[in-house]
A and B are shown apart, each in its own frame.
Chain A
Amino acid sequence: MRDTFAETVSAALDTDPRLAVVLADISADRFARAAQRHPDRVINLGIREQLLIGAAGGLALAGMRPVAHTFAPFLIERPFEQVKLDLGHQGVGAVLVSIGASYDGAHYGRTHMAPGDVALLDTLPDWTVHVPGHATEVERLLRDALAGEGNVYVRLTERGNAAARPVGAGLVTVRAGSRRSAGVVVAVGPMLDRVLAATEDLDVTVAYTATVRPFDREGLNRLVAQAGHADVLVVEPYLAGTSAHEVAEALGDRRHRQRSLGVRRDTEVRGYGTPADHDRAHGLDTEGIAKAARDFFLV
């Protein structure tokens, strides 16, 4: 996904004079050739993340379409006030693209983990948040983001699904349950393959989305109306319950149950190892999701 991001943006720099990329050393090597072709529009600021976002805001004020990129904790958490004030409050937009996801760099430990990034952006209005599950989806989502005006966050990961799915059209039904089904499972981005495996012997509808903000409330309401029970399980690769308020809004007109799976909120998991180790610790491996789904759907 990271290579696809660099290739897509580098190619777009050649055709869209409005585009500029700001970097804080991370991935600068991947943009070296683009920087040779466009030295004024590929700008490496060094390890200066507050300036990364501030400069993106200034570029947008000057009429450019900025793309800012680094590890998720340094892109969203460290300069959060810049994200809030230098973009949204100025009334300008940028495309922020992160790598590292919740724990791609598990061996780095907590300092390089940002499971709260999407929840943090949820404190601000008018952000589009993409959580692609495949490199092919990255390209499609990025092209729209680069051509647009608003604030967009693209959350890349090294771990995704085996196949790309349609993106940009809200929730996509990957497996439809029967009219007597136990409910609906929403799988966000890279969680889809695990969700499909974990729910393979359950009569549920599995829906996929690579775009969580704006959340497809109408689509969820429609899927729930078609299911046997108004029970919704959301499986997200970041902080558990990040989209719970969206589900509540989507189903505000009907009695329903909901449960959220994601990165644990109740404790800081102090461990290194691999992303798979952390999936197990958070109950986000196939077995963990399968158990939670059975519990929730009362199977």
Chain B
Amino acid sequence: MSTAPALTRYADLPALIGLMTGDEKHRIAAESTREVLWVLYDRVLNVSPETADDPDRDRFLLSKGHGPMTYYAVLAAKGFLDVAALRRWAAFDSPLGHHPDRTLVPGAEISSGSLGHGLGLGVGTALGLRAQGRHRPRVVVLLGDGELDEGSNHEAIAAAGRLGLDRLTAVVVDNGSATHGWPGGIGERFAREGWTARTVSGRDQDALYDALTAPHGRRPLAVVARVRPKG
């Protein structure tokens, strides 16, 4: 049996996250994305450090830019980032801040932190790939359910449905943090706008994988990943 190199496995994520201290406020937010991020980078996305500039790579857009410790940990585990960089996160001259900056973080497709920007950028990226005849790459945007309160997301959800952006996927990590909630559930809202919507446990890696990879017709895909409500 071969052994994976150190700090490249799912089981190593806590150790990698442990190298970063100082953003305890967002630790819960970071925790809530652990399985989703791992399944995406380990089994779904067609991107690696070697193909990070390939125009036909899959794009992962972290719209939920707060609490990026798990994101950095996954990027480190997958070789985009030096593990040593994690120790110095949030220092002035570190590439890693409490919100990621795409011009500083290897492998980060967007700079985020302010809520409600990732899905619009994802719509534009999907439109741009389609206009160039690149029909293979996926564009996957990770959002939080609280972030869905932003009206900018509803502009993007409605337009993506109508424009038939079938290479676009929104993964919504639902930890019940939206103040007024979503009648009928988040998936229902996406479905009404012409998306294929699937709701699964955000802790079940196989369920997440199936939801992200099963065919979904000529519609954009929304995967609602439920995790324990924050509290």
Contact = CB atoms under 8 A, between A and B. Distances in A.
Nearest to B111: A89
A295 B119 CA distance: 54
Nearest to A51: B155
B209 to A, nearest CB: 26
Nearest to A17: B132
Nearest to B101: A89
A61 B117 CA distance: 13
A54 B121 CA distance: 5
Given A46-B159, A55-B120, A82 B132 contact: no
A195 interface: no
A63 B159 contact: no
Nearest to A66: B124
Contacts of A40: 127, 130-131
- 6 interchain residue pairs of minimum CB distance: A58-B124, A54-B120, A62-B128, A55-B124, A48-B155, A58-B125
A50 B155 contact: yes
A236 interface: no
A114 interface: no
B86 interface: no
Interface band, chain B: 20 to 34
Interface in A49-71: 50-51, 53-64, 66
Interface stretch (B44-52, B89-97, B102-110): B102-110
Interface string A64-89: 10100000000000000110011001
Interface of A: 17, 20, 22, 40-41, 43, 45-46, 48, 50-51, 53-64, 66, 81-82, 85-86, 89-91
A253 B143 CA distance: 51
Interface in B53-77: 55, 59
Contacts of B127: 20, 40, 43, 55, 58-59, 62
A56 B123 CA distance: 9
A20 B131 CA distance: 8
B187 interface: no
Contacts of A48: 155, 158-159
Interface of B: 55, 59, 101-103, 109-111, 114, 116-117, 119-132, 151-152, 155-156, 158-159, 163
Contact of B124 (A41, A46, A54): A54
Given A17-B132, A55-B121, 5 more contacts: A48-B159, A50-B155, A57-B121, A82-B120, A86-B121
A297 B110 CA distance: 51
B128 A58 contact: yes
B152 A51 contact: yes
A46 B59 CA distance: 25
Contacts of B103: 91
A85 B122 contact: no
Contacts of B110: 61, 90
Given A54-B123, A55-B124, A81-B114, A63 B102 contact: no
Contact of A50 (B101, B129, B152): B152
Contacts of A50: 116, 120, 151-152, 155
A205 B122 CA distance: 50
A64 B109 CA distance: 15
A58 B131 contact: no
